[in-house]
């Protein structure tokens, strides 16, 4: 019954979308992700885009499924992908658009995090790696989940705040949704 009730709730929440787009199928309702990033002057734009995509997917895992577990003594038990969940292809947004700002390097930003002097050639600037910034973009998924739960709360007449810690695992999402089963926890 719990699965049936959950499905009925989802269908009720999806009803306005299904009415607006009656011929659409589930993949057409999935949300896309758009990333625009300033990486300075790039020597290999395709490599930069691949790095941004990969690190963004890592961020999705970090904020939604990669749960750290510790022993009673405080030792980290989940030390690698064989011991915790990592993102797989179905976790990647069906439409992932990544764009770089075109060669935005200026003399004022030579010592910024995105570029440094290249002393091996003409004293020109050289791009550093794209690095970790796209990892933090994954938090947008956590915020989207939290906003979806808040909308469900409003639709159910619930008010007040709720806690949704990272990673937003299925169990934590279910608990935050406050149905009759989550209330027993």
**Domain ranges within the chain, ordered by starting residue:** 23-137, 139-185
* DSSP codes of every residue in 75-95: -B---STTTS----GGGS-SS
Q: What is the mean pLDDT of residues 109-137?
A: 58
33's tokens = 């992700």
Give me the mean pLDDT over the 104-130 stretch.
52
Alpha helices per DSSP H over the chain: 2-20, 26-29, 45-64, 133-137, 139-155, 170-177
Q: How far apart are CA 104 and CA 110, in angstroms?
A: 11
Residues tagged active-site = 132
Cα 53 to chain centroid, rounded: 11
Q: Which two tokens stand for residue 109?
A: 């930003």
Reported as a single tens digit per residue, the pLDDT across 21-52 is 777 665 555 578 889 888 777 778 888 899 99
Say if residue 110's pLDDT is above 50.
Answer: no
Whole-model pTM?
0.68
Q: Rounded CA gap, 107 and 114, in Å?
A: 12
Rounded distance between C-alpha atoms, residue 31 and residue 120, angstroms: 45
The pLDDT confidence band at residue 181, using thresholds 50, 70 and 90, is low
pLDDT of residue 178: 75
Q: What percent of the chain has pLDDT over 90?
A: 19
CA dist 156 to 3, 81, 135, 136, 177, Å?
18, 38, 34, 31, 10
Backbone torsions φ then ψ of 69, nearest 5 degrees: -125, 135
Mean pLDDT over each residue of the chain, to the nearest integer: 79
User: Does the pLDDT at position 63 exceed 90?
Assistant: yes
Q: Specify the pLDDT at position 45.
A: 85
Which pair of tokens denotes residue 98? 């990544």
Level-2 CATH architecture, domain 23-137: 2-Layer Sandwich (3.30)
**Using an 8 Å Cβ cutoff, are 56 and 139 in contact?**
no
Angstrom distances, CA of residue 157 to CA of 3, 129, 175, 179: 22, 48, 17, 12
Q: What is the pLDDT of residue 115?
A: 47
């Amino acid at each position: 019954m719990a699965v049936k009730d959950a499905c009925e709730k989802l269908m009720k929440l999806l009803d306005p979308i299904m009415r607006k787009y009656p011929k659409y199928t589930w993949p057409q309702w999935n949300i896309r992700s758009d990333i625009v990033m300033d990486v300075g002057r790039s020597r290999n734009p395709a490599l930069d885009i691949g790095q941004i995509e990969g690190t963004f997917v890592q961020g999705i895992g970090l904020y939604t499924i990669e749960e750290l577990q510790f022993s009673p003594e405080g030792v980290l038990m989940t030390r690698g992908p064989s011991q915790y969940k990592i993102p797989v292809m179905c976790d990647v947004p069906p439409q992932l658009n990544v764009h770089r700002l075109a060669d935005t390097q200026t003399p004022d930003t030579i010592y910024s995090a995105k570029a440094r002097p290249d002393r091996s050639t003409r004293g020109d600037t050289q791009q550093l790696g794209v690095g970790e910034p796209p990892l933090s973009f994954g938090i947008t998924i956590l915020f989207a989940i939290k906003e979806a739960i808040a909308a469900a709360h409003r639709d159910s007449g619930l008010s007040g705040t709720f806690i949704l810690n990272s990673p937003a695992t299925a169990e934590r999402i279910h608990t935050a949704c406050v149905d009759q089963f989550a209330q027993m926890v």
